[in-house]
Amino acid sequence: MKTVTLLGSTGSIGLSALRVLRELKDEFKLYGLCCNSNLQVLEKQIEEFRPAAVAVSSREARASKDYALIKKRFGNVEFIESDKPALELALRKTEITISAIVGAAGLEPSLAALKGARRLALANKEALVMAGDIFMAEAARLGTEIIPIDSEHSAVFSLLGNAGEKDLERIIITASGGSLRSMPVEELSKVTPEQALAHPTWSMGKKITIDSATLMNKGLEVIEAHYLFNLPYEKIDVVIHPESIVHAMIEAADCALYAHMSVADMAIPILNAIKYPDKVNAHFGRLDFTKFMQLNFLPLDALRYPALALCYKAGKRGGTMPAALNAANEVCVEAFIDRKISFTNIVEIVERTLESCDITDTPSIDEIFEADRQAREISMKFIRGTKK
């Protein structure tokens, strides 16, 4: 039986991962669970899966009465009490680690998991956005296998496995267009958080859902794809596909296109990541072509989605710019959800932040974290000076 550690167990990807592990309970044993602060959900997960070790990242959560009660209730479970419990858990030996922590907070544990796990099932795109060169070099040095969980990258991974990389002309990753894809551009500045969070096809966390509406999420996925598949940015394209059925396509030199299709459920790429190279019967929904189905593909509107061009720019520039981009975006998305800035302010402030940041060309991991810190500080100054 293979052991699995799940980093980010209470988020949307983590919950999907547990659905998969529940289906495959005779093949996989959950060794470790890690969450930030959602103790109510974590308690239910411990009760069901009985992991050997648990890590709670939030100091406030670890100081709470609820945490003390959970520890007392599950006396046979180790609760990691170090300054960085997620990092310590990720370093522990396991066959598979699923990295599903959202945002920059997932970089350190994901790097640590390269040492602890034989296979890293990676959903934390920020690890590659912020430190792609360092991350991939470390994976190669340690011999750790990386398999992507993002639906688009999972689709490309599968397609390349079937069609091969020879004569690959480009990859095309699809974007739903988010919750605001039909709203007139001139009305976007008036969008409320509730409107932006109403995603039409995917059920995701707040931050990723807002990123889907700006298309920042897709831009971060472009940078992720650059590192995962060792492709120049000129060979990575994005198209709007509202139905979210085709997750990615690859185009060969002879102009033939190969598409990967499935229902919009993150359990499927997670299943593929932990079972690779095997294929197993899944119970997460199948496409039914006997029913009416449309597949639409639309060109990108640069005025509606300025974030995408900004991500291409940051990715091509490299160095610490992608880390600064990600940090500023995290701060701005949180500010928008808290109604401190408008929806269109998000990308505007991210761009202004990048223009104000010092960029290091070949950074160390410490310099990447410093770029992250600096970008957050600068973007907060712009947020405080913004009038909605």
At 222-276, the pLDDT tens digits run 999 999 999 999 999 999 999 999 999 999 888 889 999 998 899 999 999 999 9
User: Looking at the domain assignment, is residue 101 inside a domain?
Assistant: yes
Same domain, 102 and 205: no
Determine the 3-state secondary structure of 157 from DSSP: helix
User: Looking at the domain assignment, is residue 283 inside a domain?
Assistant: yes
- Contact yes or no for 13/101 (Cβ under 8 A): no
Q: Which residue has the tokens 């050997």?
A: 52
User: Looking at the domain assignment, is residue 203 inside a domain?
Assistant: yes
Same domain, 87 and 159: no
Q: What is the CATH number of the domain that holds 39?
A: 3.40.50.720
- Give 34: exposed, middle or buried? Use CB within 10 Å, 0-12, 13-18, 19+: buried
pLDDT at residue 321, as a whole number: 98
Residues of the chain under the 50 pLDDT cut: none
- Contact yes or no for 47/40 (Cβ under 8 A): no
- pTM confidence score: 0.93
Provide the CA 267 distance to its chain's centre, in angstroms: 14
User: Looking at the domain assignment, is residue 131 inside a domain?
Assistant: no
User: Looking at the domain assignment, is residue 136 inside a domain?
Assistant: no
pLDDT at residue 162, as a whole number: 61
Q: Into how many domains does the chain fold? A: 2
User: Looking at the domain assignment, is residue 146 inside a domain?
Assistant: no
Q: What is the CATH number of the domain that holds 258?
A: 1.10.1740.10
Range(s) of the domain holding residue 56: 2-124
